[in-house]
Amino acid sequence: LDSKKLKESELFEKKILNKSKGKLKLLNVGEIQDPINIEISYASKKAIEKVEKLGGSVKLLKGN
């Protein structure tokens, strides 16, 4: 996985996470040090703010 370009679908395809658990939500828990760009089903406002403050981006997937 490229930590600068994460996709929810890749986490399921590579069996890092189990698809049977449903869609993912990025939460404002823990700390990140480097900017990330992530595509995910859901994200909290605070998590989006934290990612963007470091120069990363959060793209929410359509059709949820």
Tens digit of each residue's pLDDT (9 = 90 or more) over 6-29: 999 998 888 888 876 678 999 999
Residue type, 63: G
Tens digit of each residue's pLDDT (9 = 90 or more) over 41-62: 999 999 999 999 999 999 999 8
Other CB atoms within 10 A of residue 43 CB: 20
CA atoms within 13 A on the CB side of 61: 15
Residue 56: its pLDDT value, please? Answer: 95
Q: Is 53 helix (H, G, I), strand (E, B) or coil?
A: helix
pTM metric for this prediction: 0.81
Residue 21: its pLDDT value, please? Answer: 67
Bridge-based pairing state of the strands 6-7 and 37-40: parallel
